[in-house]
Structure 1
Amino acid sequence: MAVREVPASVKLLAGVWAGVLIVAVTLTGTWLARSPGMNDPIAVAWPSDDELRTSGETTVLFGHQSVGTNILDGILRVYADAPVPAPVIAEVSSVEDARHPTFMHAYLGVNGEPLGKFAAFADVMDTRAAAHVDVALMKLCYADVTASTDVHPVFDAYVSTMADLEAAHPDVRFLYTTVPLTADRNWKSKVKAVLGGDDRMGPADNVARERYNALIRERYAATGRLVDIAAVESAGTGLRSEDGNVYHVLNENLTFDRGHLNEAGSEAVAAELLKMVATHSPVA
């Protein structure tokens, strides 16, 4: 059987596409491998023994979800080698009388629904267990503020909720918080994002968190009662940029999955929280 000659035009087209494929693979490999920016180790700003003593003598209510659990674990580690006893950490539902110093906490709402978390925090503040709280705060999760979030209504709802709570509970010292961040995507999450998977950890998500946190800082930094979780998490990273928008990320040295905190991260945020509790505790 005679072998048909492949037309020159077909050979040329095949060569072009092969070249395109080689370039695409090369560029993709470079994109996946390149370092997105600095992630330097950080030094934790540890509370003093006096601050730890004051925090341990303060009744605190902390509303949160999973990253909050990391922070609670960090509190116990911060106290591990301290010459003062650690506070009792207990879920609100298990506390019958918080007249004695206790670090109470409550799991708020569902991730991805920040307005529901605000309402849940207000409900917890009206429970019997919260009747003797000295200091109270709640935090959102990184999943509550993403690229699809209209941050202004969320911010407005937070401001309204906190103002209402302060009016209803004038003896409680309320603290404010920024929303946590996520770390730079690794190559697996980049591939997933290209294929359409939304892990809510991309640059556009952190850009939205940056916008929300800027509003929080503008409103509350001057009060001296802002627990800037995002600032602690982003230490040692520097700014990133996406489509002309600058943003911060969670330092990869502080996380085990690019979103939740490892031991170093939980200790760093817990240390900042404990210092703020001590500063605003009525027993100080």
Structure 2
Amino acid sequence: MDRKVVRRLAAVMVVSGVLTAGAATVWWDPTPSYRAVAAEGAALTDAEQLEALAQQRIFFGHRSVGRNILDGLDRVYAAHEVDPPPVIEIAPGESPQLPPDGLLVHALIGENRHPVGKLENFDATLRAGLGEQVDVAALKFCYVDIRWDSDVEALFARYQETLSRLQSDYPDVRFVHLTVPLTTGPYGIRDHLKVLAGRDDNSTRERYNELMRQAYGHGELFDLATSEATGPDGVLRARELFSGYSSDGGHLNTVGSERLAAELVGHLTDSTP
């Protein structure tokens, strides 16, 4: 048989297999039926934890998913009728003189798809004077910072090196480490073909996340990725963003942002070593 014919038949068989395996999930459904059982995010925390968080001085470097979480945090405070901490947005590298009470300082760190630049930006912002003024500091990468072909070992080594120096230079700051967020899927023919070809972005993100989980223990690591992948029934079905938490397959909707915000509150106010 002609080689071209063989290749075409093989391609048809692969696509047919993908369609058969993924027929029920060809289209991404942002509102699956079981989302109706999702508990309100506010129910995952309480007024005492929220008041304790409001007394801390926190610096959070992030991009869009971080903004989703901050929006969810605002709604969680409102649901409990607790006054939130003042929120101050600064430019990366800026370090204003902060008021003495609890507050949440945040910045849109670096550029997406350039995680090393975000690390450098986070480091420079703390060293500009913020490191002497805050109790807690955290950097969150975005899902677009790690793709299927990313060198996660090199990035993790750079992350550890940067954060270790910061911890040494600012011993009074609690540095909280976050796993990289995930996206929904795979859904549809294109996503399944990427998985078959070894080009699944979430798999690479999870390789990085496993390095984080192995390096940082309880109290140090907020496992954002696992929280994103765990459904409202508490079941971790797959290492991907639970679609009921997302507005577009990557960012968090109201349900997702409130749940992640409430879980972060619990982490930041947990005094267990």
Q: Normalised by the shorter chain, which TM-score bucket?
A: 0.7 to 0.9
Q: What does residue 64 of structure 1 align with? A: 62
Alignment of 1:94-105 (within 5 A): 95-105=96-106
Q: TM-score, normalised by structure 2?
A: 0.79
Matched, 1:257 2:257: no
- Contact map agreement 1:139 1:177 (CA 8 A) in 2: yes
What residue is the counterpart of 1:214 in the other structure? 210
Instruction: From the CA coordinates, give the structure whose radius of gyration is larger.
Output: 1
Q: CA deviation at 1:20?
A: 10
Question: How many pairs align?
Answer: 247
Write out aligned runs for 1:219-258 (5 A): 219-220=215-216, 222-236=217-231, 238-240=236-238, 248-258=239-249
Give the 3 Å change call, closer, same or farther, for CA 25–68 of structure 1 in structure 2: closer
Determine the structure 2 residue equivalent to 1:278.
Answer: 269
Which is worse superposed, 131-140 or 231-240? 231-240
Summarize the alignment of residues 188-203 of structure 1 with structure 2, pairs less than 5 Å apart.
190-191=189-190
Question: Percent sequence identity over matched residues?
Answer: 35
5+ residue gaps in structure 2? 1-8
In 2, Cα distance between equivalents of 1:20 and 1:219: 43
Q: Write the distance in 1 (CA, Å) between the matches of 2:174 and 2:271.
A: 7
Residues of 1 paired with 2:177 and 2:254: CA distance? Answer: 23
Moved more, 125-134 or 227-236: 125-134
Tell me, what secondary structure is at the counterpart of 1:175?
strand
C-alpha deviation, 1:84, in angstroms: 2.0
Indicate the RMSD between aligned Cα atoms, in angstroms. Answer: 3.1
TM-fit CA distance, 1:145:
1.1
Distance 1:81 1:203, change over 3 A: farther
Match of 2:114 in 1: 113
Q: Give the alignment's TM-score, normalised by structure 1.
A: 0.77
Cα 1:22–1:152 change in 2 (3 A) is closer
Distance of 2:12 and 2:58 partners within structure 1: 59
CA distance in 2, matches of 1:192, 1:250: 14
> Which amino acid in the other structure matches residue 224 of structure 1?
G
Q: Note the residue ranges of structure 1 that are not aligned, 5 or more in a row.
A: 1-18, 241-247
Deviations 1:45-94 (A, max 9, x none): 62221110010111100001111111110110111121421112221248
In structure 1, what is the equivalent of residue 6 of structure 2? none
TM-superposed deviation, 1:118: 0.7
